[in-house]
């Protein structure tokens, strides 16, 4: 589960960088990358939730 948390943190860092580039510079390609990253983060968060529930049993 530790690896999953680290993976989510890395993905969030990439998302944040691209989202800031879109907001501050109007970079449309960065916006596309940020949206894609948000979907990947969502999938990983669901996997984390599942792993967390299993660990709690």
Q: What single string gives the DSSP state of each residue in 29-40? A: HHHHHHHHHHHH
Per-residue model confidence (pLDDT) at position 43: 96
Residue 1 is classified by DSSP as: -
Over the chain, what is the mean pLDDT? 95
CB 48 within 8 A of CB 8: yes
Which parts of 1-57 fold into alpha helices (H)?
Answer: 2-25, 28-56
Per-residue model confidence (pLDDT) at position 7: 94
Banded model confidence at residue 44, pLDDT cuts 50, 70, 90: very high
Domain ranges of the chain: 2-56
Q: Residue 37: pLDDT above 90?
A: yes
Count the Cβ atoms, other than its own, within 10 Å of residue 34: 20
> How far apart (Å, rounded) are the C-alpha atoms in residues 10 and 34?
13
């Amino acid at each position: 589960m530790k690896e999953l948390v680290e993976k989510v943190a890395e993905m969030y860092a990439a998302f944040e960088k691209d989202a800031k580039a879109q907001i501050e510079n109007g970079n449309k390609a960065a916006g596309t990358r940020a949206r894609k990253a948000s979907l990947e983060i969502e999938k990983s968060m669901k996997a984390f939730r599942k792993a967390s529930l299993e660990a709690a049993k």
